[in-house]
């Protein structure tokens, strides 16, 4: 086994660096119900379209305003999420829709935001290769 830390994970949006704290990719597939009388009372489903929901958690950089940048809700971005440094495997989403970008303010925290995206048209790619080196 070769466990590794997320401390070297990286985020690139539109080829620019985003100092993120956390990212999550959730791949899902539509379930198309093809149940018939012949299924013997069991549900039968086949896979449909694949959807990737993505969330990126960041602390706000006071010198940038992400809400007025090209990362604002309603915009499309290119996105790479690296597992362990920029020389290793990464998720690749050539077109992702920025769905929302709520800000959070806590008296004992840095001002922050979570960028929520959905992968759109384009050929996305799962990470491939060895991430532990």
Label each residue of 55-105 as H, E or C.
EEEEECCCCCCHHHCCCCCCCEEEEEEECCCCCCCEEEEEEEEEEECCEEC
Task: Name the pLDDT band for 47 (thresholds 50, 70, 90).
Answer: very high
Extents of the domains making up the chain: 6-119
Tokens read off for 19: 């100092």
Tokens read off for 93: 């989403």
Structure confidence at residue 95 (pLDDT)? 96
Whole-model pTM?
0.88
Question: With the CA atoms of 77, 71, 22 and 94 taken in that order, what torsion angle do they form, in degrees rounded to the nearest 10?
Answer: 0
Does the domain at 6-119 match CATH 2.30.110.20? Answer given as yes
Task: Name the pLDDT band for 83 (thresholds 50, 70, 90).
Answer: very high
Rounded percentage of the chain residues whose pLDDT exceeds 90 = 74
């Amino acid at each position: 086994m070769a466990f590794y830390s997320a401390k070297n994970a990286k985020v690139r949006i539109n080829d620019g660096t985003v100092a993120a704290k956390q990212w999550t990719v959730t791949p899902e597939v539509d379930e198309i119900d093809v149940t018939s009388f012949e299924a013997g009372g069991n549900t039968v489903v086949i896979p449909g379209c694949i959807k990737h929901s993505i969330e990126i958690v960041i602390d706000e950089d006071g010198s940038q305003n992400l809400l007025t940048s090209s990362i604002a809700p309603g915009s499309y971005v290119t996105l790479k999420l690296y597992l362990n440094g920029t020389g290793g495997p990464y998720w690749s989403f050539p077109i992702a829709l920025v769905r929302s970008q709520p800000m959070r303010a806590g008296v004992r925290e840095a001002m922050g935001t979570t960028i929520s995206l959905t992968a759109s048209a384009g050929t996305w790619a799962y990470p491939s290769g060895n991430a532990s080196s």
